[in-house]
Every structure is written in C-alpha cells, then in structure tokens.
Amino acid sequence: PPPAAVGEGTPSSASSGCGFSGHPCFRELASLRCLVQGLARRVGALEVENASLISCLEEFGVLSVDAIDIRAHRMRFESARRAHPCSWEASLTDVLMTGELMLAMA
C-alpha cells in the first residue's frame, strides 16, 4: 500500500472516536484501541461491583476486609506457585536446623 498521506491516522470525526482512516495499520491500531477502551470500561465496572460486594459483606458481618485481603493474598500466592513450580528438597525445619548448626559451629 502507498504511504499514508499527511493527516491520515488521526481520529475520524465521522466515527465513534475510535476510527482511523488511511493505511491498514492505522485501521488495525484503531480497532485495537477500541478493544482496549472497551476492556478498560469493563474493568472499571468490575472494580465498582467488587467494591460494592466487599462493602456489603463487611456491612452484614459476613466477612471482614482483612479476611478478604488474606484470602486474595493466598490465592495470588498459590497462582504464583502454580506458574513457577519448584521442587523443595528441604523443609523449614531443615533450613532452621542449618542456621542453628552454623551458629553452633561459629
């Protein structure tokens, strides 16, 4: 395709604010921009819904914000462990014993 003319790639006034004219790359970027804007709106709506649910749970004494934070932390930690598996060859007791042995030998 020929190079874009000066002024092409700017938002089109005839569109919903997401459209770009001219070069196919600009049209693809405009399409991706629209998708990102839609996702940003949805994330914003989900954040409001989440805050509302947390507020209701706390207000009715079902859960505290601390309990929700703790659960979210555990879920994120487990997700990280699944994403980055590791075979542990030592237990916490082994590690603590090693430290105690080093102190005893020093």
- Distance from C-alpha of 101 to C-alpha of 3, rounded to nearest angstrom: 72
Instruction: Look up the pTM and report it.
Output: 0.54
Four-residue CA torsion sign, 80, 86, 87, 92: negative
- 72 close to 64: Cβ distance less than 8 angstroms: no
pLDDT at 3: 44
3-class DSSP assignment, residue 88: coil
Q: Give the type of residue at 24.
A: P
For each of the chain's 106 residues, which pLDDT tens digit applies? 444 444 444 444 444 455 556 778 888 999 999 999 999 999 999 999 999 999 999 999 999 999 999 999 999 999 999 999 988 788 878 877 777 667 776 5
In order, the DSSP letters of 24-76 are HHHHHHHHHHHHHHHHHHHHHHHHHHHHHHHHHHHHTTS--HHHHHHHHHHHH
pLDDT of residue 14: 42
Residue 42 confidence (pLDDT): 98
